[in-house]
Amino acid sequence: MKRTTILAVLMAMAAMTAQAQTYLDPNAPLEERVKDALSRMTTHEKIQLLHAQSKFTSAGVPRLGIRQLNMDDGPHGVREELEWNTWSPAKWTNDYIVAFPSLTCLAATWNRDMSTAYGNAVSEEFAFRGKDIMLGPGVNIQRTPLNGRAFEYMGEDPYLAGEIVVPYIKAAQANGIACCLKHFVLNDQETNRFGVNVNVSDRAMREIYLRPFQKAVEKAHVYTIMGSYNMWKGVHCCHNDELLNGILKKEWNWDGALISDWGGTTNTMEAALGGLDIEMGTYTDGKTKESEFGYENYYLANPFEKLIEEGTVPMSVLDEKASRVLRTIFRTAMNPKKVIGSQCSENHYDVCREIGEEGIVLLKNDKNILPLDASKYKKILVVGENATRSLTQGGGSSELKTLRDISPLEALQTMYGDKIDHAQGYYSGRAIYDRVDRIDPEKQAFLKAEALEKAKEADLIIFIGGLNKNTRQDCENGDRESYNLSYGQNELISELAKIQKNIVVVTFGGNPYAMPWLNQVAALTHCWYLGSESGTSLVNVLSGKVCPSGKLPVTFATRYEDYPYVKFGKEAYPGVDNQVYYKEGIFVGYRHFVTNNVKPLFPFGFGLSYTTFAYNKPISTVANHNIIIQTTVTNTGKVAGKEIVQVYATAPKGSVERPTKELKGFAKTKLLQPGESETLRITIPKEELSYYDETKHGWTLTEGTYTLNVGANVNDIKGKVNVEVK
């Protein structure tokens, strides 16, 4: 055979082999893998990529060796395995995991490195459990303290939420696990979450609600995003053309896959043309109700395939969706760099504990009763159901099945031995989803009387209460019914304080709440939810082993009525006739309290320490597009501690109303020993100072003099610098 023929045969074979390899070649460029895979798929195979094949998986292409996508909740750890097609636990025995602290706790650390550690550790657990997509994190904005899912989010400020969510996503996706940022967008209440249409100004939409999602897309390149149940401009966000095709995919140039919330898809044509890529959980209620339809009846299944076959919807629409799903598969399931991960490893517990320790916020500490000096006390009485109740269970889809769940009481007993006495004080029953246990008043009265009796013998009381993961507390699919703590806690705290003035209150919960007893207690720490190492993190802070450094990512108002939307009535929350109007506009949280001089109980960014810090005069330099604020912080106290320095911008008077202060930068010091200083350099890109101009439909940077306020919280400014922006 002639040399040329042999060569031709060899080249043809090589071409065939090369052709056969591209989508399977881990070293081939991503877009070539996508294109090659797509070119080999039938229409039906493309369609199957676009919807669930089980509760938490969507199909791959078995014939071509393209893997399915394994998804699972949630933002705080890997949910226990559920049955293939029901919401019931599969009762596996190898799916116990680490419950990490709630994301509001992570936000309260104001520590970007902690966020990296969190994303890395939690994604290692997802990888080890064989998942490709983790259904989290969430960055919906806390406009109301009644939102049942606030504990899953990162507070009231879009800058803080954006800055903290980016490292988490980068670290998780570096491990080959896709984040699924949720809930896109305006899912800021649980009341009527499937049916409410959110009316919000374009400016508030851009500056407040879209902002953290935009940062995650532009800075962290988040691989998938979950559409929310609610509507915007009368169209469901899971297939909202203006939101998903207009803003997310075109304006932000996002190349990922948009996944519906479970049961968030409502019709085929909108799903086809409105930017949805993977339809999950249809015909269910995202929690318990099962679907009597099979997966082939999903809107993007047979009904959509029919539209393609008929030519009603062009093949290009299907190819675009399928390409986004393939891209996700090659970034995760078929990513050669995807880690094996680990589960319940000690370093994960260490990360969990450290985030908890740094997220706990010390709100009051009279006469430095904290850190506890146990030698001063003979009998320490621990009162409250949250001293023993597991707070990793419940709460909805973010619930977790843990191997380790150290309670505060257990940790206190380990630290202080038999000095510790305990009285439950109150009980809340179990109220999972809509089944609410009836509270027996007699039992409640007995528990209270028992605690008050024991209080007489104690020379220190630690009350441990707050919210819990029951429905109508911090739980999905329902909002709190009151700004007050439940189960008679306010009265109990007040009566305990009358018996023993040495009382330390410790609360758990994702939201602010009223504190009628605040002046009666000596100290108060708020802990959000701390996960598997809850008790250890708490006791390390109470004992002084760790100096508290957390600061509030939300404003704690004295009265519910002080929140900006309340004066506008039900239309502003929770809505009337399926319409809710964000009448406060951009004035959410501290933007309202500061601009309108409403004194909060505890301001945004507030948190005490066991030590004190001095700030030297800040200086600013402008380099290219960045303003750099430099300030030196010195530990002027007696114990080592970390300080969070915040920078709030005051814009020059311009054509539109602007909040008096807006968070535009922050940094956390390393652990400073007494007398030690650290110089912090906080970089503020100039465009961060822009506002959204509704007339221009674009961001605008006003020229003029900006005052950059450097402080320990939004109301405690230590120094200012004026910067000219041209």
Closest CB 188 distance from ligand GLC, rounded Å: 13
Question: Is 434 annotated in the active site?
Answer: no
Binding mask 591-620 for ligand GLC (x = CB under 6 A): ------------------------------
Closest CB 397 distance from ligand GLC, rounded Å: 4
Question: What's the one-letter identity of residue 25?
Answer: D
**Helices marked H in 49-148:** 103-109, 112-128
* Residue closer to ligand GLC (CB basis): 396 or 641: 396
Q: How many CB atoms lie within 10 A of CB 105?
A: 31
Q: If you ran DSSP here, which 8-state letter would residue 417 be given?
A: G
* Residue closer to ligand GLC (CB basis): 396 or 535: 396
Binding mask 509-548 for ligand GLC (x = CB under 6 A): ----------------------------------------
Show contacts with ligand GLC in window 126-155 (CB under 6 A): 135
* Residue closer to ligand GLC (CB basis): 325 or 497: 325
What is the rounded CA–CA span in Å between residue 185 and residue 206?
11
CB 289 within 8 A of CB 310: no
* Residue closer to ligand GLC (CB basis): 53 or 646: 53
CB 561 within 8 A of CB 567: yes
Show contacts with ligand GLC in window 10-39 (CB under 6 A): none
* Residue of 33, 51, 170, 182 interacting with ligand GLC (CB under 6 A): 182
Binding mask 382-401 for ligand GLC (x = CB under 6 A): ---------------x----
* Residue of 101, 119, 167, 286 interacting with ligand GLC (CB under 6 A): 286
Q: Taking the CA of residue 158 as centre, how many other CA atoms within 13 Å lie in the half-sphere pointing to its CB?
A: 21
Tokens in use for 313?
Answer: 């919807």
Residues contacting ligand GLC: total by CB under 6 A: 8
Phi-psi sector, 238: left (phi>0), alpha (psi -120 to 50), beta: alpha
* Residue closer to ligand GLC (CB basis): 182 or 353: 182
Closest CB 193 distance from ligand GLC, rounded Å: 8
Please choose, from the candidates 107, 116, 158, 112, the residue with its C-alpha nearest in 3D space to the C-alpha of residue 688.
Answer: 158
Question: What's the one-letter identity of residue 14?
Answer: A
Please choose, from the candidates 590, 713, 665, 608, the residue with its C-alpha nearest in 3D space to the C-alpha of residue 156.
Answer: 590
Closest CB 316 distance from ligand GLC, rounded Å: 30
SS3 call for 662: strand
CB 518 within 8 A of CB 390: no
CB 460 within 8 A of CB 506: no
Q: What is the 3-state secondary structure (H, E, C) of 109-130?
A: HCCHHHHHHHHHHHHHHHHHCC
CB 50 within 8 A of CB 328: no
Show contacts with ligand GLC in window 60-119 (CB under 6 A): 73
Closest CB 108 distance from ligand GLC, rounded Å: 21
Of residues 132, 188, 261, 474, which has the active-site annotation? 261
- In the bound state, the residue with its beta carbon closest to ligand GLC is 286
Q: How far is CA 146 from CA 477, 479, 618, in A?
A: 12, 5, 38
CB 361 within 8 A of CB 101: no
* Residue closer to ligand GLC (CB basis): 262 or 593: 262
* Residue closer to ligand GLC (CB basis): 135 or 178: 135
Closest CB 112 distance from ligand GLC, rounded Å: 24
Show contacts with ligand GLC in window 250-269 (CB under 6 A): 261-262
Buried b (16+ CB within 10 A) or exposed e, 133-167: bbbbbbbbbbbbbbbbbbbbbbbbbbbbbbbbbbb
Closest CB 510 distance from ligand GLC, rounded Å: 14
Catalytic positions: 261
Q: What does the binding site for ligand GLC look like in residue numbers (CB under 6 A)?
A: 73, 135, 182, 261-262, 286-287, 397
